[in-house]
Structure 1
Amino acid sequence: MLAMNKYKVLGITAVTIAATILATSCKDNKSTGWEYAPNMYEHIAYDPDQKNPNFKDGKTAQVPPAGTIPLGFTRFDYPNTKDGYLQAGLEVKNPIAQNKANFDEGKVLFEHYCSPCHGVTGQGDGLVVQHGFPAPPSYSKGQSSRGGAMKELTDGKIYHTITYGVNSMGSYASQLAPEERWKVITYVHHLQNL
């Protein structure tokens, strides 16, 4: 008798659970069921292109306050002019350590970004030149278009040129981070002595 009551209670419990699952699963066809961390896709933050009542101009995407510097950004306060180039040449020095690791990484970066025009040895005989484009001057024998021998270019002058570009060479500021530019400069100084 006791065993029969157990089976009856278990049966009623199973039917109740099944009926509850059936009733709750059919109530909303669009529902995916229980939500785990719904704020992952139903966020309360404003999208950058949405209107935002929290700001006077009503825009969510705001310009950073004047004088602020983005995290990880390195300032280079020399204008893209010949005077800025000359001033950078006098004042800017390579801040990274002159060691084998930086030299080797500078070589790899130079070969990837610079050698198509400047050539692997910096003689201005890269693949681009072989396809009919004007040759850049040789680092060891050529003359700079801004005056002076290429072999006498200082850290600041090379950094300024990589950052802003000159003549046919465009800016590499978006391709090479500041520290990578310094590593390339370490390798370029080696090419100036070839």
Structure 2
Amino acid sequence: MLAMNKIKILGTTAFVIAASIVITSCKDKRSTGWEYAPNMYEHKAYEYDQPNDNFKNGQTAQTPPAGTIPVGFKRFDYPNNKDGYEKASLEVKNPLPLTSNNIEDGKKLFTTFCSPCHGVNGQGDGTVVQHGYPPPPSYSKGQSSRGGAMKDLTDGKIYHTITYGVNAMGSYASQVAPEERWKIVMYVHHLQTL
């Protein structure tokens, strides 16, 4: 009799557990069960364009305080004018070491961003010239529109031009990171000798 009661108790317990599993699993077909770290997929943060009562102006996206610099951003405190160009020529030097890897990286970056206008060898014969656009000057034989020979351009002048652009060339500051610009500068110096 004692054995029968144990079997009934175990059987009833197993039935209750099985029934509760079945009932709870059928509750919501979209539910994945227990949630682990729900804050990773249920956003509690405001989107940048949503109204936000936490600020006086009611906007989520706030203007950064004056003088702040974004993470990973490097300042280039030379204005986009002739004086800034000349000052950069005198003061700005390439901080990267002159290595074959940096020159090879510079060649790849030049081929991607610069060769459509300047040509693969920097002679001003890129594909855009074949479509009727005016050719940029050759790095080894041409004259700069700002004065002087292209073969004499310094680190600072080339970097300034990549950062701000000149004439028909627009700024590449948003497409090419500062370190990548320095690698392009190294490769342009190589092209100046061709």
Q: TM-score, normalised by structure 2?
A: 0.90
Q: Distance in 2 between matches of 1:18 and 1:92?
A: 75
Q: What is the count of residue pairs matched by the alignment?
A: 194
Partner of 1:14: 14
- The superposition leaves residues 119-178 of structure 1 with CA deviations (integer Å, 9 ceiling, x where unpaired) of 111111112212222111000100111111111111111111101111111111111100
Offset of 1:3 from its aligned partner?
4.4
- Greater Cα offset, 5-14 or 145-154: 5-14
SS in 2 for 1:65: coil
Partner of 1:109: 109
Partner of 1:163: 163
**In the superposition, relative to structure 1, how do residues 184 and 30 fare at CA in structure 2: closer, same or farther (>3 Å)?**
closer
Partner of 1:96: 96
SS in 2 for 1:135: coil
Question: Structure 2 counterpart of 1:166, which letter?
Answer: V
Q: Distance in 2 between matches of 1:54 and 1:16?
A: 50
SS in 1 for 2:19: helix
- Greater Cα offset, 76-85 or 34-43: 34-43
Question: Structure 1 counterpart of 2:98, which letter?
Answer: Q
Offset of 1:28 from its aligned partner?
5.5
Q: Distance in 1 between matches of 2:24 and 2:104?
A: 65
Q: Which runs of 5+ in 2 are unaligned?
A: none
Report whether the alignment pairs 1:121 with 2:107: no
Q: Distance in 1 between matches of 2:115 and 2:75?
A: 27
Query: Equivalent pairs: percent with the same residue?
Result: 75
Q: Distance in 1 between matches of 2:80 and 2:183?
A: 21
**In the superposition, relative to structure 1, how do residues 27 and 193 fare at CA in structure 2: closer, same or farther (>3 Å)?**
closer
Q: TM-score, normalised by structure 1?
A: 0.90
**In the superposition, relative to structure 1, how do residues 37 and 124 fare at CA in structure 2: closer, same or farther (>3 Å)?**
same
Offset of 1:24 from its aligned partner?
3.3
Offset of 1:15 from its aligned partner?
1.8
Partner of 1:174: 174
Partner of 2:61: 61
- Greater Cα offset, 53-62 or 151-160: 53-62
- Greater Cα offset, 1-10 or 164-173: 1-10
Root mean square deviation, CA, Å: 1.9
